[in-house]
Structures are given as structure tokens and as C-alpha cells.
């Protein structure tokens, strides 16, 4: 068996069927890959998915609700493929994806291989927030990757939504680990960092295209909640890996001021970020966004940076909450 696909899932039967349907259309022959679905304690009848028939070998496993990290590792223990491909249940893939991931993973030594994900909206029609942010995400993350070429990217981009690694390397690196004990738990960045320290490169395949149907982008509120929780758990991520902090620029100006080390410009930016977390200021920014949305898409160019500042405010708030929680645990 050349490839084993591992899919953790929780309460998304329609999404998992949609993904399995795209796997049935792969250019990689069906006898060259297997699929292991790990249900993380969903409350729907598993027969809804188990009754489906596909040309590839596949199994449906269940575990008590323990999180996606545990589910991925559990699934890996049942796999026999030379290459493990981890795919999230809210992703679909183009027909060449598995073949492209496997080919690059087997060609390059000491490498993790990431697919090229394009964000899509689960909300139809998309809200002004969703339309604006999707455009920004796809322009930023895929600049230069639309030519079908493979490229090396920074380890901090490691993303378990569509990731391939040789089976022997996966276990040698200690599998996936949960550095924070909460969601989102940054297990992909943790894995990428540990692989980087072990001398691995992170490659992105330009031919392994997938689509991320991101539920957190359905509204500004949902996105802010996700980023606030991610920033809160980042405190524990940095506690586990102190050397990782400089490699996550998205959080650089959300952290407390370091008066001895920060550049004056960064100090000002951090202070402004902190100011935006004050309820009257944040409420004003959110009110302004709603006002501008009334004349969308004419105000798209004004809304794009405003959305980023609002989400950044919630990230900053989440990081400070994480610091408070860490201080409380120490005492």
C-alpha cells in the first residue's frame, strides 16, 4: 500500500461523505491507497457514513471524544501505507492531490509535504465579512503557488488539514502532540517545529490542491472567537517551545510590551493593539464595520483592514487571558 489517508471527524457526516466522494475520484489508483476515518465521539448514527461504498479500501473507527490530535494518531496506528496523508473533514481535494503528495513525499528525503488549500465559504451567499476575508486569505497564502510548482515554505505554515509525511518519519518524530491541552491546540505548528529542529523541510505541492470549507469564516463573530481561543492557547504553546515565539509573526504585536527588547515602532503597535481590546473602543470598531457593510462591496477596501484590526483585538485579548490563566495555574 503506497498511501494511507487519515481523516479525523466530529459531527460532520455530510462533510465526511463529501470528502470521501472526492477521494473516490483520485487519479492515484484505488488499490494504491486506503482511508481510515476516525470518529471522535460523534452523536449521529455512524451507519449514515459506514453504509457508503467506495472503490478504495476504507474503515470507520470510533473513539471517545478526545480531540483531533488523538484521532489522527489513533488512525495512524491502523495504517500500512508508506506515506500518511492527514486530511481534515472540512476539506475536499482535487483528483491529482494524493498522487502529487505521495510523489513529492517519496522523492524528497526528510520532508513534510503540505497541499495547497484554497479557502471556501460554507455560507451561501457569503456575508460581506466572508467575501472580503476569503479574498485576502487566498491572495496572501497562495501568491506564487498557482503555477503548479512545488516550493519550500517556512515550518510555521505546517497545516494538518492536508499534510503528507512518510510513515516511518511520522513515528520517529513522535507523532502529533498536543502542546496546549485546548482547542485550537497548534498541534500542526508544534509538529512542524519539531520536524524543523530534526532537520526536516516543509514543502508545498502546487499540484495537490484542496478546498477548505471553513466554518469559522461564516461571520466576523465566529472568526473572532476562533482567533481569541487560538491566541489564548498560544501562551501554552510558547511555554512548551520558547524558541518558537519569534517564528509566529501573526502574534508579534499581540503580546505584552518588552520594554528592553522591542523596537519603538513595535512598542507603539502593541500599545495600540492593547487599546483596541478596551470594550468601548472595540465596540466602536465593530459598529463601524456594520456601518460600512451597508454599502458593500463599495466599502470592501475599507473593510479589509478594519476586519483585521478587529480580529487582532480579539487575538490580543485572548493572549492576555492565556497569561492570566497561566499565572493562576502557578499559584
pLDDT digits (tens, 9 = 90+) for 145-176: 556 789 999 999 999 999 999 999 999 999 99
Assign 230 to helix, strand or coil.
helix
Give residue 238's pLDDT.
96
Distance CA 103, CA 28 (A): 10
The domain boundary, picked from 217, 251, 285, lies at 217
User: pLDDT value at position 1?
Assistant: 64
Q: How many domains does the chain contain in total?
A: 2
For the cut 80, the answer to whether the pLDDT of residue 182 exceeds it is no
**Greater model confidence, 147 or 194:** 194
Is the pLDDT reported for residue 211 higher than 70? Answer: yes
Q: Which residues, including other chains, have CB under 8 Å from residue 146's CB and lie 6 or more apart?
A: 206
Q: Above 80 in pLDDT, residue 27?
A: yes
* Average pLDDT of the chain, as a whole number: 94
pLDDT at 87 over 80: yes
Residue tagged 491572495 (cell numbers): 139
Domain that holds residue 259: 220-330
pLDDT at 140: 60
Q: Is the pLDDT of residue 292 over 70?
A: yes
* 244 plus 313 within the same structural domain: yes
CB atoms within 10 A of CB 276: 17
Which of 185, 217, 249 finishes a domain?
217
Residues 178 and 236 in one domain: no
The share of the chain scoring above pLDDT 90, in percent, equals 89
**Where a domain ends, among 217, 239, 258?**
217
pLDDT at position 233, please?
A: 96
Distance CA(310)–CA(228), nearest Å, equals 11
pTM of the model: 0.94
Q: Of the given ranges (14-23, 67-76, 118-127), which has the lowest mean pLDDT? A: 118-127
Least Cα distance to 118 among 96, 80, 145, 99 occurs for 145
Q: Where are the beta strands (DSSP E) in 48-108?
A: 57-62, 83-87, 91-93
- Shared domain for 308 and 205, answered yes or no, is no
Region 13-37 average pLDDT:
97
Residues 151, 253, single domain; the answer is: no
User: Taking 80 as the threshold, does the pLDDT of residue 330 lie above it?
Assistant: no
Same domain, 188 and 241: no
CATH number at residue 148: 3.90.550.10
Q: For 214-254, what is each residue's pLDDT tens digit?
A: 999 999 999 999 999 999 999 999 999 999 999 999 999 99
Residues 281 and 307 in one domain: yes
Whether residues 172 and 235 fall in one domain: no
Q: Tell me: do 133 and 185 sit in the same domain.
A: yes
* Same domain, yes or no: 69 and 53: yes
Is 3's pLDDT higher than 90? Answer: yes
Amino acid at each position: 500500500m503506497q498511501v494511507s489517508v487519515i481523516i479525523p471527524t466530529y459531527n460532520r457526516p455530510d462533510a465526511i461523505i463529501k470528502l470521501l466522494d472526492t477521494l473516490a475520484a483520485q487519479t492515484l489508483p484505488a488499490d494504491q491507497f486506503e482511508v481510515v476515518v476516525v470518529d471522535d465521539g460523534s452523536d449521529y448514527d455512524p451507519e449514515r457514513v459506514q453504509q457508503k461504498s467506495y472503490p478504495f479500501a476504507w474503515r470507520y473507527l470510533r473513539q471517545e471524544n478526545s480531540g483531533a490530535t488523538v484521532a489522527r494518531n489513533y488512525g495512524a496506528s491502523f495504517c500500512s501505507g508508506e506515506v500518511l496523508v492527514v486530511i481534515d473533514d472540512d476539506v475536499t481535494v482535487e483528483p491529482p492531490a494524493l498522487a502529487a503528495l505521495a510523489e513529492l513525499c517519496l522523492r524528497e528525503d526528510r520532508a513534510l509535504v503540505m497541499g495547497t488549500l484554497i479557502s471556501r465559504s460554507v455560507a451561501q451567499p457569503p456575508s460581506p465579512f466572508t467575501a472580503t476575508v476569503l479574498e485576502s486569505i487566498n491572495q496572501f497564502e497562495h501568491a506564487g503557488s498557482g503555477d503548479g510548482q512545488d516550493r519550500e515554505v517556512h515550518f510555521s505554515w505546517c497545516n494538518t488539514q492536508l499534510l503528507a509525511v512518510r510513515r516511518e518519519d511520522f513515528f520517529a518524530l513522535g507523532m502529533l502532540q498536543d502542546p496546549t491541552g485546548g482547542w485550537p491546540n497548534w498541534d500542526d505548528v508544534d509538529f512542524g517545529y519539531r520536524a524543523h529542529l530534526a532537520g526536516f523541510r516543509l514543502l508545498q505541492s502546487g499540484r495537490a490542491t484542496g478546498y477548505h470549507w471553513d466554518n469559522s469564516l461564516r461571520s466576523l463573530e465566529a472568526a473572532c472567537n476562533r482567533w481569541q481561543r487560538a491566541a489564548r492557547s498560544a501562551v501554552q504553546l510558547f511555554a512548551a517551545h520558547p524558541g518558537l515565539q519569534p517564528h509566529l509573526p501573526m502574534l508579534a504585536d499581540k503580546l505584552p510590551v518588552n520594554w528592553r527588547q522591542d523596537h519603538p515602532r513595535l512598542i507603539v503597535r502593541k500599545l495600540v493593539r492593547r487599546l483596541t481590546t478596551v470594550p468601548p473602543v472595540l465596540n466602536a470598531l465593530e459598529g463601524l464595520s456594520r456601518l460600512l457593510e451597508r454599502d458593500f462591496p463599495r466599502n470592501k477596501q475599507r473593510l479589509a483592514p478594519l476586519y483585521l484590526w478587529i480580529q487582532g483585538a480579539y487575538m490580543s485579548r485572548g493572549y492576555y487571558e492565556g497569561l492570566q490563566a497561566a499565572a493562576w495555574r502557578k499559584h
